[in-house]
Amino acid sequence: MTPKAGVGTVGGRATTPPATVTKVPGNRSRRPRGAANLREQVDMTNATAPGETRTSSPHPFDAELAAQWLALAHPSPRAARGEWSSAAKLAVLPLGRTFDAVRIPEDVVHAAAQSDEPSTTGSWLARHLSGPVIRDPGFRRYYVLVPPGTAQAWRARDTECLGDGTYLGVPRTDRIEVDERAPLAAYWSVPMARPGRLCQAADVLELVLLGHVLTGGDEA
């Protein structure tokens, strides 16, 4: 079963396409052919040499390379590109094979970053997570991209890790700031610095715990 691209509902109300999620029980997407070379490249770029310190953006941001890698999550990468070319500039991608996504309320993220200013928050997330993060202003959430399988073990209050059987609305890779003409549209708070470089679950959990402490909540 394939969800309608870029459509979500909240309380029965249709929404314009922010980073929305649809669950499809028992559905597992097949990995598209022709992905081996790029995936091998990803394995190499994800490696950290002995003594190397991870940084938020070790290489210049390349929207095209990031798009190529993200499109591999779709059963038809060409279809994903078609969705990004639509007016919504959003592709609905299946989770659980290429990456999972931790959904975090924006107040938790803003408390941890001690700012709700988009560029300040984005810079803080880039330094502390070293991986891609989507912001969904319409529903006041952030989606942190993490390795596949993270959802199976994720436990943190007020958050959810979305994995297999779930779809996420992913903005086009060149949408890296708030669109003044569509201020509620999803965008990349932290772009993917290089193909396949994802946030680590331990770093995300640390952010969530910090945010809970600073908002006066109990630990997760």
pLDDT digits (tens, 9 = 90+) for 153-162: 999 999 999 9
What would the two tokens of residue 97 be? 């094979």
Is 170 among the domain residues? yes
pTM of the model: 0.76
Average pLDDT over residues 45-51: 37
Query: Per the domain annotation, does 81 fall within a domain?
Result: yes
Question: Does residue 125 belong to any structural domain of this protein?
Answer: yes
The DSSP bridge pattern shows strands 133-136 and 166-171 to be: unpaired
Q: What order do you get walking across the sheet with 133-136 strand by strand? A: 160-162, 100-105, 141-146, 133-136, 187-190
Residues 111-122 have pLDDT tens digits of: 999 999 999 999
Model confidence pLDDT, tens digit, residues 10-37:
233 333 444 555 554 444 444 444 444 4
**Mind giving me the DSSP string for 99-136?**
-EEEEEEHHHHHHHHT---HHHHHHHHHHHH-S-EEEE
Q: What are phi and psi of 44, to 5 degrees?
A: -70, -40
* Separation CA 214–CA 140 (nearest Å): 18
Boundaries of domain holding 98: 18-26+35-43+59-214
Q: How far apart are CA 211 and CA 72, in angstroms?
A: 33
Separation between Cα atoms, residue 183 and residue 164, nearest integer Å: 30
Greater pLDDT, 218 or 162: 162
Instruction: Name the more confident of 218 and 107.
Output: 107
Q: How many domains does the chain have?
A: 1
The answer to whether 34 touches 55, Cβ cutoff 8 Å, is no
